């Protein structure tokens, strides 16, 4: 992808916009872009710089994303809606073409990284609830106030607000330069090495030998200098294409969730624990590159595989409930460490059919109005509403899965299933709205820091309108 029309090869200490932004390290990547931690020399703060691929299609997508990001920022002047803020944008010319660059407030790790740090065992339920509140506040804002559908909700697109100063992130100490390398470099408040030691020694997890190793490595890196940490070939740089496999990537490569787990590497258990502790669980939605409107959509091909809702698989109309489906998948994944649906192609059936089968095994048989009305319904269902190639469904309801497969206590399992099953309703119009989810006891009994845009009194009315039984697309405008 590092060729004409593709990614721009970024090097540590490169500058953008006439020297204003100085690259520090890689934060992540996606199909459209690579994303970098940069030092803003004008405002003296860390920012995230998203450098889009340069082909026309990507440039147009970036321009659309910028328009959407501006609307999102305009409606949220107090920064309370749990959505990332666009700070600046510009174009950058390089050997592979002209790249649209977007500058965002710097956020921390994405939720997939958090799940990895739990060793795929799931994170504590109080943290899951806290994260859910933030995602729901963002969805309520997008759906209800802006009539927007995110369409690509997945753990990689939800970012935590890390408490760690990015220059002191222990994962990068000894692996890459932590501070700006230009003359604009801010003075470190504290030696980053001291910081890891103080963090880790509070846990008592570092042996003398380990400390010695870290110091030695840090010294080696300091001697090597900043410029060698190139984007394309460094082992230590985070999120290189091909290194950290996103679920989307797994889908494209035909890989399973199991293989996705193998990309969990690099960090010691102590570091993981510290990073988990550094999270106060506030988070924000990012990546509005595929966002559309309830009244204007660009494609029927939306959502990353594991988070894709039945109406999209079946080629029916979709709207804001599609995001709620993905939200429920994320919530389950946070709580258990496992993807909720992980479909595969079989000898006799397609991945889509397997996906529908997994949904029915968990949630029951799909109603006729769902199995008959999508433009692809005939591909999967016969006239009796049975799948064409998968006959035997092994029913395993969610609350039982939570107990029997994931070792949940009966009560926790029941409470979580009570919250999730209505959101995983096959009829999209019957799924609760984000504001209603915020009022569900599973969420509202926990600490509540943010308010939905719809007061609970109005929620009932919104519900009865949304649940009309015609199967027509709901229209959230003005709701």
Q: Which is nearer to ligand ATP, 125 or 161 (CB)?
A: 161
Q: How far is the CB of 248 from Mg ion (least distance, A)?
A: 8
Residue 394, marked binder: no
Q: Which is nearer to ligand ATP, 50 or 134 (CB)?
A: 50
Q: Per CB under 5 A, does 304 bind Mg ion?
A: no
Catalytic residue among 152, 287, 415, 476: 152
| Lookup: tokens for 221 | 């890196």
Among 97, 122, 174, 289, binds Mg ion (CB under 5 A): 289
Between CA 473 and CA 375 the distance in angstroms is: 15
Q: Which is nearer to ligand ATP, 302 or 357 (CB)?
A: 302
Stretch that binds Mg ion, among 264-272, 273-281, 283-291, 431-439 (CB under 5 A): 283-291
Between CA 20 and CA 42 the distance in angstroms is: 6
Q: Give the helix/strand (H/E) hosting 323.
A: helix 321-336
Rounded CA Rg of the chain? 23
Please report the DSSP string for 124-152 in residue order.
-HHHHHHHHHHHHHHHHIIIIIT-EE---
474 binds, among ligand ATP, Mg ion, none (CB under 5 to 8 A by kind): none
- Give burial (CB, 10 Å; 0-12/13-18/19+) of 196: buried
Between CA 298 and CA 82 the distance in angstroms is: 25
Residue whose Cβ sits closest to ligand ATP: 30
35 binds, among Mg ion, ligand ATP, none (CB under 5 to 8 A by kind): ligand ATP
Distances (CA, A) of 93 to 9, 99, 433, 452, 465: 11, 6, 43, 42, 50
Residues forming beta bridges with residue 28, ordered by sequence position: 35
| Lookup: tokens for 342 | 């992980």
Q: How far is the CB of 286 from Mg ion (least distance, A)?
A: 7
Does the active-site annotation cover 152?
yes
> How many C-beta atoms lie closer than 10 Å to residue 349's C-beta?
19
Among 10, 27, 29, 30, binds Mg ion (CB under 5 A): 30
The torsion region of residue 345 among left (phi > 0), alpha (psi -120 to 50) and beta comes to beta
- Give 3-state DSSP helix, strand, coil % of the chain, rounded to 5: 40, 15, 45
Among 13, 157, 195, 291, binds Mg ion (CB under 5 A): 157
Distances (CA, A) of 322 to 153, 159, 318: 9, 20, 6
Q: How far is the CB of 213 from ligand ATP (least distance, A)?
A: 28
Q: Which is nearer to Mg ion, 96 or 157 (CB)?
A: 157
**Residues at the site binding ligand ATP, with contacts judged by CB under 6 A:** 27-33, 35, 48, 50, 84, 104, 106-107, 110, 152, 156-157, 159, 248, 286-287, 289
Stretch that binds Mg ion, among 81-89, 150-158, 376-384, 448-456 (CB under 5 A): 150-158
Residue whose Cβ sits closest to Mg ion: 289
Q: How far is the CB of 146 from ligand ATP (least distance, A)?
A: 18
Q: Which is nearer to ligand ATP, 112 or 401 (CB)?
A: 112
Stretch that binds Mg ion, among 28-36, 124-132, 169-177, 228-236 (CB under 5 A): 28-36
Between CA 350 and CA 380 the distance in angstroms is: 9
Size of the site for Mg ion (CB under 5 A): 4
Q: What is the DSSP letter of 143?
A: I
- Give burial (CB, 10 Å; 0-12/13-18/19+) of 120: middle
Q: How far is the CB of 65 from ligand ATP (least distance, A)?
A: 8
Q: Which is nearer to ligand ATP, 25 or 431 (CB)?
A: 25
81 binds, among Mg ion, ligand ATP, none (CB under 5 to 8 A by kind): none
| Lookup: tokens for 259 | 């293989």
Between CA 285 and CA 110 the distance in angstroms is: 10
7 binds, among ligand ATP, Mg ion, none (CB under 5 to 8 A by kind): none
* Residues making contact with Mg ion (CB under 5 A): 30, 157, 287, 289
Binding residues: 50
Where is the binding site for ATP, in residues? 50
Which residues are catalytically annotated? 152
């Amino acid at each position: 992808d590092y060729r004409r029309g593709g990614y721009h090869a970024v090097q540590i200490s490169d500058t953008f916009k006439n020297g204003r932004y100085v690259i520090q390290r890689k934060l992540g990547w996606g199909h459209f872009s690579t994303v970098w931690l940069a030092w803003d020399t004008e405002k003296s703060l860390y920012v995230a710089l998203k450098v889009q691929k340069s082909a026309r299609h990507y440039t147009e997508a970036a321009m659309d994303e910028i328009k959407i990001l501006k609307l999102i920022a305009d409606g949220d002047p107090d920064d309370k809606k749990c959505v990332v803020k666009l700070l600046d944008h510009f174009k950058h010319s390089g050997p592979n073409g002209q790249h649209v660059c977007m500058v965002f407030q710097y956020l921390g790790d994405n939720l997939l990284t958090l799940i990895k740090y739990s060793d795929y065992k799931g994170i504590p339920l109080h943290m899951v609830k806290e994260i859910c509140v933030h995602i729901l506040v963002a969805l309520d804002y997008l759906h209800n106030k802006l009539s927007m559908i995110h369409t690509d909700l997945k753990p990689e697109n939800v970012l935590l607000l890390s408490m760690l100063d990015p220059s002191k992130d222990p994962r990068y100490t000894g692996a890459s330069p932590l501070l700006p390398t230009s003359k604009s470099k801010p003075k470190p408040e504290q030696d980053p090495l001291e910081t890891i030691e103080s963090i880790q020694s509070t846990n008592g997890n570092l042996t003398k030998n380990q400390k010695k190793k870290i110091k030695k490595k840090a010294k080696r890196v300091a001697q090597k200098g900043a410029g060698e940490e190139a984007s394309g070939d460094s082992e230590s740089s985070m999120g290189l294409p091909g290194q950290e496999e996103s679920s989307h990537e797994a889908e494209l490569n035909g890989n399973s969730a199991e293989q996705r787990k193998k990309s969990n590497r690099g960090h010691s258990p102590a570091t993981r624990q510290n990073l988990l502790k550094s999270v106060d669980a506030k988070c924000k939605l990012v990546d509005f590159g595929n966002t559309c409107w309830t009244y204007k959509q660009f494609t029927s091909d939306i959502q990353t595989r594991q988070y894709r809702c039945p109406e999209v698989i079946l080629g029916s109309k979709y709207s804001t409930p599609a995001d709620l489906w993905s939200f429920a998948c994320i919530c389950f994944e946070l709580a258990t460490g496992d993807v909720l649906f992980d479909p595969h192609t079989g000898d006799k059936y397609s991945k889509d059919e397997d996906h529908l089968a997994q949904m029915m095994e968990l949630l029951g048989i799909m109603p006729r109005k769902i199995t008959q009305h999508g433009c692809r319904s005939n591909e999967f269902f016969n006239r009796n509403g049975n799948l064409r190639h998968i006959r035997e469904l092994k029913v395993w309801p969610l609350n039982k899965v939570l107990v029997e497969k994931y070792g949940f206590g009966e009560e926790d399992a029941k409470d979580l299933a009570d919250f999730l099953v209505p959101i995983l309703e096959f009829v999209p119009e019957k799924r609760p709205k984000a504001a209603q989810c915020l009022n569900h006891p599973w969420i509202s009994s926990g600490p509540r820091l943010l308010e939905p845009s719809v007061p609970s009194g109005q929620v009932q009315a919104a519900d009865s309108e949304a649940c009309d039984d015609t199967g027509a697309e709901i229209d959230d405008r003005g709701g």
